[in-house]
Amino acid sequence: EICGHDIITDPVAARRNIGYLPENAPAYGDMTVEEFLTFIARMRGYSGAEIGERVDRAVNQCFLNTVRHQTIETLSKGYRQRNCMAQAILHDPPILILDEPTDGLDPNQKQVVRDMIKEMAEEKVIIFSTHVLEEVDAVCNRAIIISEGKIVADSNPADLRKRSQSFNM
């Protein structure tokens, strides 16, 4: 179940509660940030003034105001990543799944994305997939280590570091 919706019998309702940011998030490069987010809002079924409200909120949350009217293809990798984060949170889902959200970003952009994740984590469940243990320390309060499809550790990063040197945290 996801937020009370059975993923087998009611998969659409279950998925409505999830925002997803893939590692290499796709976006239409010839659209501006605002056009892309407006398109996503329409695809999610919003209309009228609600589209503008949702786009404005996502733009503000992801610090995209300065690039709002730029085409996505002209953005730095960090801004493209934040644009795709904005599409993942546009519908204000209670659960976010983020796959390597800081991969390839410069140190300043990494910090911006980390700060965004920490702020959103106050209200949302965030599942954060990474192979970079520095990211675990920077943004996670719980870490689950999976090896060969099995959970081999589940604790906070500091406790895991104390328990085993083999994780090299």
17-75 pLDDT, tens digit each: 999 999 887 889 999 999 999 999 999 999 999 999 999 999 999 999 999 999 999 99
Q: Tell me the pLDDT band of 164, cut-offs 50, 70 and 90.
A: low
Question: Using CA atoms in the order 148, 153, 154, 156, what is the torsion angle rounded to 10 degrees?
Answer: -130
Instruction: Assess contact for 42 and 87: CB atoms under 8 A.
Output: no
Average pLDDT, the chain: 90
pLDDT of residue 167: 47
> Kindly report the CA angle at 130 between 127 and 133, in degrees rounded to 5?
115
Tokens of 49: 């003034």
pLDDT of residue 166: 54
**The model's pTM:** 0.83
Separation of alpha carbons 150 and 70, rounded Å: 44
Cα-only R_g, the chain: 17
Flag the least confident range among 89-98, 124-133, 156-165.
Answer: 156-165
